[in-house]
């Protein structure tokens, strides 16, 4: 069973060093989190599983890493300067700001609709302004003079860094359609909705791929990518299929560039929520950048002998949102060997922050020496944690709680037979292997 409430994960995340509220010593900062020693590994591993599936294991997708701050005309062409807005209302009494669409959807428990159609918050005196469109891009200034011309934007998505490099990639790789360009990067949005942990933050990481194809093949490829991405969450992140669903956008929900979008949603403790959007962006972006830059962004199709503007299918996933889902999904409470409750994060080994823990039974120097030898053998291959504090039972619990698939224990017998015990996280089964074979045995169990 996954975690049934978010607080359980929020407190485990902080206690064990996955995710901390940012700038906590200064009272925190709304919708902002820092990743700790284990969170940084989990995030890195999920990103790497995405890159493997989307780039490394395919012949038709290549990667880029575009600058974060770039020419502001990019965001004029993409439509973000004009359209990347949320309707906001301010309460003149509480001085708080809310998203009108979220008020109407009933997302703020404290704001209820009145009989006359108006809305009131618990203080009872909500005096809302008319909704006004609020652009969610962060602005900054570039260069020595601060004026309108020096304004630049922090990117709210990674896609535009791909579109502006379409021609460069085409020329340098000679790829034929269909082909994709992938990128993982941080994005920024001035979100005002009170966040649910790392589900919605001001700064977050995305994993996006733009798949360029001939017009007319887009519908079939849209379907293909929805299925591929669904499979990735199940096979690579370990999400149970019954907590994943596909939801097609209604006509009034569609973005200005989209001819069809399906969200991949996860059943969060508070209900279904988006994990990834898979959109058919048509030829909107390449045409928009061609018009703004005066640069022809086309592809020469040898079969038809014509220059065409490719269509684009975009699977756009949230890396940091997937980190939250991986933790929620892996969380398990079950009896241990003695029948006591144990908490286990049942991560797939590939995404587990620590792959193997090395645990000497005691702090005796002889055991420490042997344990150091075992660590030295494992470290070049796997993220390894050495832990000699507290009882062995407590150390197993600690490794279970951070999702370490294997523990290697060094005991007094080791000094005689030069062998160690490997314990599996999920089955709690133990096998004995010679130290000389420890790397092979771990590889055998992890599968990589």
- Give the residue, chosen from 13, 88, 275, 410, that forms a contact with ligand ATP under the rule CB under 6 A: 275
Residue 280 and residue 312: Cα distance in Å, rounded? 6
Report residue 189: phi and psi, to 5°. Answer: -140, 135
39 binds ligand ATP (CB under 6 A): no
316 binds ligand ATP (CB under 6 A): yes
DSSP-derived letter for residue 347 is -
Helix (H) or strand (E) holding 132: strand 132-135
Which residue in the shown chain puts its C-beta closest to ligand ATP? 318
Q: Which two tokens stand for residue 368?
A: 């420490």
Residue 254 and residue 231: Cα distance in Å, rounded? 24
Residue 11 and residue 19: Cα distance in Å, rounded? 9
189 binds ligand ATP (CB under 6 A): yes
Are 405 and 349 in contact, with CB atoms under 8 Å apart?
A: yes
Closest approach of ligand ATP to the CB of residue 208, in Å: 7
Segment interacting with ligand ATP, rule: CB under 6 A, options 8-16, 143-151, 196-204, 409-417: 196-204
Segment interacting with ligand ATP, rule: CB under 6 A, options 168-176, 211-219, 273-281, 371-379: 273-281
Closest approach of ligand ATP to the CB of residue 34, in Å: 15
Are 182 and 62 in contact, with CB atoms under 8 Å apart?
A: yes
- Give the residue, chosen from 158, 184, 206, 384, that forms a contact with ligand ATP under the rule CB under 6 A: 206
Q: Which of residues 346-405 bind ligand ATP (CB under 6 A)?
A: none
Q: Which of 431, 229, 446, 428 is nearest to 348 (CA)?
A: 446
276 binds ligand ATP (CB under 6 A): yes
- 76-96 residues labelled b (16+ CB within 10 A) or e (exposed): ebbebbeebebbbbbbeebeb
Are 327 and 18 in contact, with CB atoms under 8 Å apart?
A: yes
- Give the residue, chosen from 16, 185, 200, 342, that forms a contact with ligand ATP under the rule CB under 6 A: 200
Closest approach of ligand ATP to the CB of residue 39, in Å: 14
135/293 with CB nearer ligand ATP: 135
320 binds ligand ATP (CB under 6 A): yes
45 binds ligand ATP (CB under 6 A): no
Residue 164 and residue 297: Cα distance in Å, rounded? 9
Task: Supply the DSSP string of 18-86, one letter for each residue.
Answer: SEEETTGGGT--TT-EEE-HHHHHHHHHHHHHHHIIIIIT-SSEEE----SS--THHHHHTTHHHH-EE
Contacts for 447 with CB less than 8 Å, ≥ 6 apart:
349
- Give the residue, chosen from 318, 353, 360, 405, that forms a contact with ligand ATP under the rule CB under 6 A: 318
Are 398 and 387 in contact, with CB atoms under 8 Å apart?
A: yes
229 binds ligand ATP (CB under 6 A): no
- Give the residue, chosen from 21, 44, 165, 191, that forms a contact with ligand ATP under the rule CB under 6 A: 191
Q: Which of residues 138-167 bind ligand ATP (CB under 6 A)?
A: 157
274 binds ligand ATP (CB under 6 A): yes
- Give the residue, chosen from 204, 266, 268, 299, that forms a contact with ligand ATP under the rule CB under 6 A: 204
Segment interacting with ligand ATP, rule: CB under 6 A, options 160-168, 178-186, 317-325, 412-420: 317-325
Segment interacting with ligand ATP, rule: CB under 6 A, options 7-15, 114-122, 199-207, 281-289: 199-207
Segment interacting with ligand ATP, rule: CB under 6 A, options 165-173, 227-235, 312-320, 377-385: 312-320
Segment interacting with ligand ATP, rule: CB under 6 A, options 110-118, 274-282, 303-311, 392-400: 274-282
Task: Supply the DSSP string of 74-119, one letter for each residue.
Answer: HHHHTTHHHH-EEEEEEBTTT--EEEHHHHHTT--TT-EE-TTS-E
- Residues of this chain that bind ligand ATP (CB under 6 A): 157, 189, 191, 200-201, 204, 206, 274-277, 316-318, 320-321
């Amino acid at each position: 069973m996954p975690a049934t409430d978010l607080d359980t994960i929020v407190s485990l995340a902080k206690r064990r060093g996955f995710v901390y509220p940012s700038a906590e010593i200064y009272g925190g900062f709304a919708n902002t989190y820092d990743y700790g020693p284990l969170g940084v590994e989990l995030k890195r591993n999920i990103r790497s599983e995405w890159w493997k599936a989307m780039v490394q294991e395919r012949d038709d997708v290549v990667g880029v890493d575009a600058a974060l701050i770039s020419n502001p005309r990019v965001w004029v062409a993409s439509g973000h300067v004009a359209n990347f807005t949320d309707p906001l209302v301010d309460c003149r009494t509480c001085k708080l700001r809310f998203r009108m669409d979220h008020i109407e959807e009933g997302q703020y428990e404290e704001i209820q609709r009145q009989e006359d159609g108006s809305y009131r918050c618990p203080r009872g005196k909500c005096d809302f302004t008319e909704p006004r469109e609020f652009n969610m891009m962060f602005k900054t200034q570039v260069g020595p003079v601060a004026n309108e011309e020096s304004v630049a934007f922090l990117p709210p998505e990674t896609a535009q860094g791909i579109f502006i490099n379409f021609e460069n990639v085409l020329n340098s790789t000679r790829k034929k359609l269909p082909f994709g360009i992938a990128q993982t990067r941080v994005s920024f949005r001035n979100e005002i909705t009170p966040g649910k942990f790392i589900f919605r933050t001001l700064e977050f990481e995305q994993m996006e791929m733009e798949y360029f194809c001939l017009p007319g093949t887009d519908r079939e490829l849209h379907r293909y990518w929805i299925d591929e991405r669904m499979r990735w969450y199940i096979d690579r992140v370990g999400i149970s299929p019954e907590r994943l669903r596909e939801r097609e956008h209604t006509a009034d929900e569609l973005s200005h560039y989209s001819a069809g979008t399906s969200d991949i949603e996860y059943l969060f403790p508070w209900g279904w929520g988006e994990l990834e959007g898979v959109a058919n962006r048509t030829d909107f972006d390449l045409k928009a950048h061609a018009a703004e830059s005066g640069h022809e962004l086309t592809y020469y199709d040898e079969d038809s002998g014509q220059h065409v503007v490719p269509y684009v299918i975009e699977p756009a996933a949230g890396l940091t949102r997937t980190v939250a889902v991986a933790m929620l999904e892996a969380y398990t409470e079950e009896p241990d060997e003695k029948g006591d409750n144990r908490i286990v994060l049942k991560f797939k080994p590939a995404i587990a922050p620590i792959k193997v823990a090395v645990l000497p039974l005691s702090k005796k120097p002889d055991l420490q020496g042997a344990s150091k030898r075992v660590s030295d053998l494992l470290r070049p291959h796997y993220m390894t944690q050495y832990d000699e504090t507290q009882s062995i039972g407590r150390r197993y619990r600690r490794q279970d709680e951070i999702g370490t698939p294997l523990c290697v224990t060094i005991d007094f017998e080791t000094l005689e037979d030069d062998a160690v015990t490997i314990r599996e996280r999920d089955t709690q089964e133990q096998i004995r292997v010679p130290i000389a074979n420890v790397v092979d045995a771990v590889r055998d169990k992890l599968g990589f």
